[in-house]
Amino acid sequence: MSHLRRALQGSASNLARIGLSVLVALVLPPLLVHRMAPAEFSGWVLILQTTAYVNLLDLGLQTAIGKFVAQYDATGDRVASGRVLSTSFAILCASAFAGAMAIALVTWRVPQLFNQMPEALVGDLREGILVVGLSVVLALPFSAFLAAFTGLQKYGFPTSLALGSKLLSSAALVGVLLTQGGLVQLAWVMAISNIATAVGQFLGWRRLISKRVAFSLRLVTRQAAVSLVKYGSSLSIWTVSTLFVSGLDMVIVGHYDYKDTGYYGVATAATNFMLLVIAGLFGPLVPAVSSMQSNRTSDQLGEMVIRVTRYCALFLCLAGLPLIVGAYPILRLWVGVGYATRSALFLQVLVLGSAIRQLGHPYSLVVVATGKQHLAALAGIVEAAVNVCVSIYLVQRIGATGVAVGTLVGAFVSVGMHLTISMKFTSATISISRRDFALEGLLRPLLCVVPSMLLITKWTKSTTLPASPFWLTAWAVSTLAIAWLFGLTTQEKRSFGQVLCRFKYQAT
Asked whether residue 208 falls in the same domain as residue 273, the answer is: no
Cβ atoms of residues 82 and 141 within 8 Å: no
Alpha carbon dihedral 186, 187, 193, 199, in 10-degree steps, equals -160
Asked whether residue 48 falls in the same domain as residue 172, the answer is: yes
Asked whether residue 298 falls in the same domain as residue 433, the answer is: yes
Residue 242 counted as domain residue: no
Domain extent, residue 27, equals 1-230
Residues 6+ apart with CB under 8 A from 386: 406, 409, 410, 413
Asked whether residue 142 falls in the same domain as residue 224, the answer is: yes
pLDDT at 366: 83
Asked whether residue 164 falls in the same domain as residue 303, the answer is: no
Asked whether residue 490 falls in the same domain as residue 377, the answer is: yes
Asked whether residue 151 falls in the same domain as residue 225, the answer is: yes
Whether this model's pTM surpasses 0.85? no
d(CA 197, CA 140): 11
Residue 462 counted as domain residue: yes
CB atoms within 10 A of CB 434: 15
pLDDT at 17: 56
Cβ atoms of residues 220 and 87 within 8 Å: yes
- Summarised one tens digit per residue, pLDDT across range 294-348 is 567 888 888 888 988 998 899 999 989 999 999 999 999 888 888 999 999 999 9
Which domain-ending residue is among 201, 230, 259? 230
Residue 78 counted as domain residue: yes
Provide the number of structural domains found in the chain.
Answer: 2
Asked whether residue 365 falls in the same domain as residue 492, the answer is: yes
Which domain-ending residue is among 204, 230, 256? 230
pLDDT at 195: 94
Asked whether residue 324 falls in the same domain as residue 177, the answer is: no
Asked whether residue 223 falls in the same domain as residue 325, the answer is: no
CB atoms within 10 A of CB 111: 12
Asked whether residue 26 falls in the same domain as residue 151, the answer is: yes
Given CA atoms 193, 197, 203, 208 in this order, what sign does their dihedral have? positive
DSSP assignment of 241-253 equals HHIIIIITHHHHH
- Summarised one tens digit per residue, pLDDT across range 83-127 is 988 999 999 999 999 999 999 999 999 999 898 888 889 999 999
d(CA 330, CA 333): 5
Residue 366 counted as domain residue: yes
Size (the chain), residues: 508
Considering only CA atoms, give the Rg of the chain: 23
Which domain-ending residue is among 198, 230, 262? 230
Residue 318 counted as domain residue: yes
User: Which stretches in the chain have pLDDT values below 50?
Assistant: 1-4, 7-11, 507
